[in-house]
Amino acid sequence: MSLNLQTIRDKVEFFESSSLEQLEADIQKKIEQNEALMLGVHHVQHHVHTRSENGRSIYTAVVHFRAVPTP
């Protein structure tokens, strides 16, 4: 078994939800988890898509995390 201690510098995560509140909660939970890895939010991009079959909205987001600079 090998253990790799390489630092994560960039990480991109994708989110999807049927409600904006749930999407925000999912992103906030992931932000807290990534803070433990010394990663902070660099950029957030979000979209709303409406399905033509049923008219429901789907909320999506892409969050780019980057390593927090050490002083």
Q: pLDDT (tens digit, 9 = 90+) per residue, 16-71? A: 999 999 999 999 999 999 999 899 999 999 999 998 888 899 999 999 999 988 77
Question: Which amino acid belongs to residue 13?
Answer: E
Look at residue 42 in the predicted model and tell me its pLDDT: 95
Look at residue 1 in the predicted model and tell me its pLDDT: 77
Question: Which amino acid belongs to residue 36?
Answer: A
Confirm if 68 and 40 have CB atoms less than 8 A apart: yes
Confirm if 52 and 29 have CB atoms less than 8 A apart: no
Maximum distance among all Cα pairs of the chain, rounded to whole angstroms: 52
d(CA 52, CA 31): 32
d(CA 43, CA 28): 14
